[in-house]
Amino acid sequence: MNALLEIVQKSDDRKYFQIFLKKNVLWVVAELISGLTGISATTCTVMLCLAAAVSWIQASEIKVKKLPTSFLSKDKCRFLSNFSQKTAEVELPGEFLIPSSPHYHIRISRFMLRVEIVQKNNNAARRLHIRRTNDALED
């Protein structure tokens, strides 16, 4: 600690001291903890880094929870909000696996306005709701 105080007194350049302080604060804190507890300074450094990582993860999870969970498609994509069977005929996939009957022939009627943002397994995806020609909703 005396060496640190000497650098503060001798150093005219505050930027150099700030860089030195940022690099060595972790080691100084680890030395203090190891002196009090008897654990090695390297182990204390690893423990402090892990604690910092955990707090960073918790802070980022809080920020993610504050993000919006849905939005309107007319704000982001005009084509989806203006889509109808008159503009384009799009058939839903998998219709050829069902017996060929007019009852099972399904097309997209329109896209619903609300788009949900689903977060699962550290990934974010957008969920579109589709109105089919038989008036059923599809996710």
How would residue 16 be classed by pLDDT, with cut points 50, 70 and 90?
low
Does residue 12 form part of some domain? yes
Domain span holding position 57:
2-66
**Does 33 lie in the same domain as 52?**
yes
pLDDT tier at 23 (50, 70, 90 boundaries)? low
Does residue 15 lie in a domain region?
yes
Average pLDDT over residues 39-46: 73
How does residue 84 score in pLDDT terms, banded at 50, 70 and 90?
A: confident
Residue 78 within any structural domain of the chain: yes
pLDDT of 97 higher than 70? no
Query: What local confidence, expressed as pLDDT, does residue 128 receive?
Result: 83
CA distance 4 to 14: 13
Judgement on whether residues 75 and 114 belong to the same structural domain of the protein: yes
Residue 72: which residues within 8 A CB-CB, separation 6 or more?
A: 81, 113, 114, 115
**Two tokens, residue 3:** 């060496």
Q: Which of residues 34, 66, 98 is at a domain's end?
A: 66
For residue 138, being part of any structural domain is answered with no
**Contact indicator for 109, 131 with CB cutoff of 8 Å:** yes
Residues 14 and 34 in one domain: yes
Asked if residue 61 belongs to a domain, the reply is: yes
The pLDDT of residue 5 is 47
